[in-house]
Structure 1
């Protein structure tokens, strides 16, 4: 199973933000779209960073409400792990677990084509397990 299958089910919509937009704007966008992370794009690279709910909470905890007026670039994670549509879901799960992150941008041929969250991965895996269980039940019923 590859990332392509997840994207074909969930879609390829990605919510992005510019690096000079404020952390407060990022928080509003996360709430508006009901998502956990925004990809930061600068027009040069497909992904220049990622800012998550965790990043915003840490920034406010360390610097108080004034952090919400600072640019996203100050708090974003710059070293972002990406994958392609051909990446195996098991490999992606391992990378997310080992790296302790919950969102992975999908980049293909130098272009951002989607994002996969840990929720997407879990949903995909549960569907696989349910299909396997049903196949076993069907096999037993016909044996």
Structure 2
């Protein structure tokens, strides 16, 4: 039963339990060159684009700069972020479950997703963040399973038909 609850909690975790990437924004009227510098300085892959009212109006990614500016030999210091940003931002909220975030990212083919509440950005989650978080959660599940198996073996050695190999993996006999 503990195992089932643990697996369910991994599936049902939401972003409120996850540390988000810091909010990195840029004004829509800034140049693409300024956006590229900000991305490089912060070592991140995307920026949330804000409009005149400081509300989210888009997202600009490294990929946007490469495909819409560099590949077309456009002048990054002459183009504004508004010209190349993705306008229909796929976003989520703090209460969005992680499995829903993963599905949204997959369905919309995005690697960076702003977390927005009432039009204001709270942070960013990336595919890399999601993978690292889920890996950590599944490692926790594996450790709990191991403790449960150890306890069963300790309390009921006659029921055990498995052993651990030299690497610690369970082998059923």
Normalized against structure 2, the TM-score is what? 0.76
CA apart distance, 1:110? 3.1
Segments ≥4 residues shifted beyond 4 Å: none
Higher relative contact order (CA 8 A, sep 6+): 1
State which of 70, 76, 95 in structure 2 corresponds to 1:60. Answer: 70
More helix by proportion, 1 or 2? 1
Give the Cα–Cα distance (whole angstroms) in 2 for the partners of residues 109 and 10 of structure 1. Answer: 17
What is the 5 A alignment of 1:1-143? 1-6=13-18, 9-10=19-20, 13-44=22-53, 46-58=55-67, 59-62=69-72, 64-143=73-152
Equivalent residue pairs, number: 139
CA apart distance, 1:44? 2.2
Give the Cα–Cα distance (whole angstroms) in 2 for the partners of residues 111 and 51 of structure 1. Answer: 16
3-state SS in 2 of match to 1:101 = coil
Q: Deviations over 1:49-86 (max 9, x none)?
A: 00000000012101x15144210100000000111100
Q: Which moved more, 1:27-36 or 1:67-76?
A: 67-76
Give the Cα–Cα distance (whole angstroms) in 2 for the partners of residues 45 and 80 of structure 1. Answer: 15
Q: Which moved more, 1:41-50 or 1:85-94?
A: 41-50
- Structure 2 gaps, min length 5: 1-12, 153-173
What CA RMSD, in Å, does the superposition of the two structures yield over aligned residues? 1.4
Give the Cα–Cα distance (whole angstroms) in 1 for the partners of residues 90 and 29 of structure 2. Answer: 22
Normalized against structure 1, the TM-score is what? 0.91
3-state SS in 2 of match to 1:51 = strand
3-state SS in 1 of match to 2:113 = strand
- Structure 1 gaps, min length 5: none
